[in-house]
A and B are shown apart, each in its own frame.
Chain A
Amino acid sequence: MAVRKPPITTREYWAPGHAACAGCGCAAALRLATKAFSEAMEEKYGDPNAFAIAQATGCMEVVSAVFPYTAWKAPWIHVAFENAAAVASGVEAAWKKVGRKGKILAIGGDGGTADIGMQALSGMLERWHNVVYLMYDNEAYMNTGIQRSSSTPYGAWTTTSPPGKLSIGEDKPKKWVALIAAAHQIPYVATASVANPYDFIKKMKKAAKVDGPAFVQVQCTCVPGWRAPPEKSIEITRLAIETGVWPLFEIENGDFHNIKIQAPGGGAKVKREGGRIVAIEFKKPIEEYLKLQGRFKHLFKQPEAIDIMREQIKAMWKVLGVDVILPKPEE
């Protein structure tokens, strides 16, 4: 009987034994990302191990590298919270100089990327280092106990954006770092989701194979941070795609006129013009995504806040060049 080839390499770089919570979407993302990277290195350089990782301080760092243990089976360095991109720049320069073939993977959370590490990221992208930057976006500072970041979505509860008599929770729309990265006109930018592993793997491989910098932003759950049951992690992130909250797209060479939008699934109706998606009518209301997470629970008492969220999501899609219809739940 023929043995089916596994869809992704069985090599592991993010080994079992790390201390992430059960159901952590980010842990799943890192495992897939490194596997994809390895495949890309094998295809590009004939060496599946031809990469090193520079990682920012954050949840995925503290759960994976507690001395004297490590979950990493690839060369890995952590320096500080804000400088994964700068450290990666140095590693890449050193490799170039000593003639080592391969690519550097920089990893940071949304805080280490969208906030404190933004300058280092911009510098790294602008200098055209041969680095893939992976932003794992769990939409808050989880390591320090769930504080808001600029990537926290509107309305979300965090410990520094608590809902209260005068507060709806986080009161600013989410900062879209992928678009900022694309403004550097780098070869490759993409958003991805752990709920769509094939797509994520494909994008990571593409990112790893381009010559020059690339940026991938992957949405992934945090169980305590999203106040969500561990077994629902993938379901929640899938709903983010299917309700329009989390767009999946690619931007190559900073070409904003040619953003490649992906069909969201979940029964959404997609309108294309010349192969390009120009409108999406979502079938599932964003409430389906929100209701599975304790961080949005308070919004259901103030449905007008959810309407504001809908408007923000529409505006974000507009930037991507897509008109969307976001349904309200049926009474």
Chain B
Amino acid sequence: MPIRKVMKANEAAAWAAKLAKPKVIAAFPITPSTLVPEKISEFVADGELDAEFIKVESEHSAISACVGASAAGVRTFTATASQGLALMHEILFIAAGMRLPIVIAVGNRALSAPINIWNDWQDTISERDTGWLQFYAENNQEALDLILIAFKVAEDERVLLPAMVGFDAFILTHTVEPVEIPDQELVDEFLGEYMPKHAYLDPAKPITQGALGFPAHYMEARYGVWEANENAKKVIDEVFAEFEKKFGRKYQKIEEYRTEDADIIFVTMGSLAGTLKEYVDMLREKGVKVGAAKITVYRPFPTEEVRELAKKTKVLALLEKNVTFSVGGALFQDFSRALVNESEKPKIVDFILGLGGRDVTFKDLDEALAIAQKALTGEEFEEVNWIGLRKEIL
């Protein structure tokens, strides 16, 4: 029987790791995800998780050790955030290029400077071109579930890519909520044991991993990562369906909320989706026709689903906790690409907000709504809007 416990997202991530039974975990502490390796080391110390826990001297070595272990054929896991993820950057490309299904839990946190430990998504968003799959959790339950799902998708032979699961710093990492911990037996059935066919360091069958790719081969390897990302779209749907059947919780790449007959659909990710749903409820009560959509899977980018979503509305209002300089947010770029060749498409308005842990309030959303309404009525509007800026200190 599944048990319910009140816990932080960090603990939920550690529980997910415990249930997934990785054989090697290598981690280095960083706020806000420090509790993940702490909790895992407790599990290991108490004999509840039979794994090698490598207390590495840096995140660079954490991910490097994960690459070594994964290349030796075992399931591996780590957790990090922000500067830690940035320090892994170089090896993230390598893990994807070597097609190693490592899973990282990321407590989404802003990047320096100025140093800031609070939430935004710049850390994982900045890694969007590494080839890693990216999932974003709205709440602590999703943090647990999506890590299990990430392992399953990552290890699928049609995919074989590493995956990261993001959950918002402090808003989730340090906030307790009831979380259902699934049955170990069901998780075992769901995940099975990781038995790689492509990567291992076996003296009986020596292979060379990580060779030098000349121009004659490099592009094909990159295309392999591209293709695997494309394949992942279908695999993710299958895994979501299987997860729902086994554990009763439904996931979609883009989850819609009251989008029927909406004139404006707000789109966001992570915990902000929770705030947004309440905001939409409030506006609907006032008769304002708005809806919400949550991006659960960011890479592979759900292009088809975005196109379907776009058909339902006149304005897409993107709420983003990240910046792509001189463009807006990353989602703005992604949505623009998805819709650029559609014959009919909604207006897209981009909102950058909540950076470095700044609260996103209903007042902020009202401000965004007012701009989105201008777009709706055909008035002039700014494409990119920074919401909640303190103009007095600029």
* A interface with B by C-beta (< 8 Å): 47, 49-52, 54, 61-62, 65-68, 70, 72-80, 82-83, 85-98, 102, 119-120, 122-124, 126-127
Contacts and interface: CB of A to CB of B under 8 A. Distances in A.
B212 A94 contact: no
21 contacts: A61-B212, A62-B212, A70-B211, A75-B200, A75-B202, A76-B209, A78-B209, A80-B64, A86-B56, A89-B26, A89-B65, A90-B26, A90-B70, A90-B76, A94-B52, A94-B70, A96-B52, A97-B24, A119-B61, A120-B61, A123-B56
Contact of B206 (A75, A82, A86, A90): A75
A237 B37 CA distance: 47
Given A78-B210, A87-B65, A94 B72 contact: yes
Contacts of A88: 68
Contact of A126 (B57, B69, B205): B57
B201 A91 contact: yes
Lowest 4 CB-CB distances: which A-B pairs, in order? A90-B68, A123-B57, A90-B65, A86-B64
Q: Which of B23, B60, B68, B72 is packed against the most chain A CB atoms within 10 Å?
A: B68
A72 B58 CA distance: 30
A127 B211 CA distance: 28
A102 B202 CA distance: 11
Contacts of B209: 76-78
B214 A66 contact: yes
A90 B24 contact: yes
Contacts of A123: 56-58, 61
Question: What bracket does the count of chain B residues touching chain A fall in?
Answer: 35 or more
Contacts of B56: 86, 89, 123, 127
Nearest to B213: A67
B102 to A, nearest CB: 10
A190 B214 CA distance: 36
B57 A47 contact: no
Given A75-B206, A79-B64, A119 B24 contact: no
B248 interface: no
A65 B24 CA distance: 27
B204 interface: yes
Given A79-B91, A83-B91, A87-B65, A52 B211 contact: no
Interface of B: 23-24, 26, 50-52, 54-58, 60-61, 64-74, 76, 90-91, 94, 98, 200-214, 217
Contact of B51 (A51, A95, A97, A120): A97
Interface centre among A72, A79, A80, A102 (most CB of B within 10 A): A79
| Residue from B50, B203, B207 having most chain A Cβ neighbours under 10 A | B203
A80 B204 contact: no
A240 B174 CA distance: 60
A65 B211 contact: yes
B60 A72 contact: no
A61 B209 CA distance: 11
A120 B59 CA distance: 10
Contacts, number: 158
Contact of B67 (A51, A87, A124, A127): A87
A122 B94 contact: no
Contacts of B57: 119-120, 122-123, 126
A66 B64 CA distance: 21
Contacts of A79: 64, 67-68, 91, 94, 98, 210
A68 B201 contact: no
Contacts of B26: 89-90, 93
Nearest to A48: B203
A97 B69 CA distance: 10
A299 B213 CA distance: 40
Given A50-B203, A79-B64, A91 B69 contact: yes
Nearest to A38: B203
A62 B23 CA distance: 31
B91 to A, nearest CB: 6
Given A68-B217, A70-B211, A93 B54 contact: yes
A94 to B, nearest CB: 4
Given A76-B208, A102-B203, A94 B24 contact: yes
Given A67-B212, A98-B23, A123-B58, A93 B65 contact: yes
A94 B26 CA distance: 11
Nearest to A53: B201
Nearest to A129: B54
B64 A83 contact: yes
Contacts of A92: 68
A67 B65 contact: no
Contact of A75 (B50, B207, B212): B207
A87 to B, nearest CB: 4
B174 to A, nearest CB: 28
B61 A89 contact: yes
Contacts of B55: 127
Contacts of A90: 24, 26, 54, 64-72, 76
A75 B204 CA distance: 9
B61 A95 contact: no
Nearest to A73: B206
Contacts of B65: 86-87, 89-90, 93
Given A67-B214, A94-B73, A97-B51, A75 B23 contact: no
Contact of A80 (B94, B200, B208): B94
Contacts of B69: 90-91, 93-94
Contacts of B201: 52, 75-77, 91
B76 A47 contact: no
Given A49-B203, A68-B217, A93 B211 contact: no
Nearest to B25: A93
B206 A74 contact: yes
A82 B69 CA distance: 17
Contacts of B58: 119-120, 123
A72 B206 contact: yes
Given A90-B26, A93-B65, A98 B94 contact: no
